Amino acid sequence: MGQDGVLLNSYQSSFKYTADDTVKHMTSQSLKKRRRILYIEDDYSIRRLVRFLLDMRPNIELVEAETAMAGLKHALQSSFDIILLDLSFPDISGYEVLHKLQSSKLHKITPVIAVSGNNMPDDIERGKQAGFFAYLTKPLDVSELSALLDHTLASMA
């Protein structure tokens, strides 16, 4: 995974996708449609960074949860276009949350993106095998996150 590249899971091949590529591929329709993203993250500073990034996008509503259980509750009660999920929580693991989401009718096919400080190749492979749509590592590369969100939302249009 490069500095501005995106590593996608086994459903898709690995490829480099930059923010410039995103602008070329997005349609005006996908830019206008209101999208909802759930970010389940216990680190306030990282949530704040993502909120700052997404606040610049009027077509995206960000819902935040600071515990895995609170995030799971949000996800099972409401529909989201993308779920960003940290993997390490004191209550339950991000992998358990992913499994519960994959078992739910509401989010069975929702792209769930891992956002983790576990950045060794074995960690990333485990995330791919578990079924994450993509696996981003911390410290979070803002351009990488932005390109991945743009690409994922554009593919939904």
Give 13-69 pLDDT, tens digit per residue: 333 444 444 444 444 444 568 999 999 999 999 999 999 999 999 999 999 999 999
**In the chain, domain spans:** 19-24+33-156
CATH superfamily membership of 19-24+33-156? Response regulator (3.40.50.2300)
Q: Report residue 155: phi and psi, to 5°.
A: -75, -15
Residue range 84-110: mean pLDDT, rounded: 95
User: What is the pLDDT at residue 133?
Assistant: 97
Which element (helix H / strand E) includes 95? helix 94-103
Residue at 40: amino acid letter: I
pTM to 2 decimal places = 0.82
Only one residue has tokens 């930059």, namely: 18
Half-sphere exposure of residue 56, counting CA atoms within 13 Å on the CB side? Answer: 7
The rounded distance, in Å, linking the Cα atoms of 86 and 67 is: 10
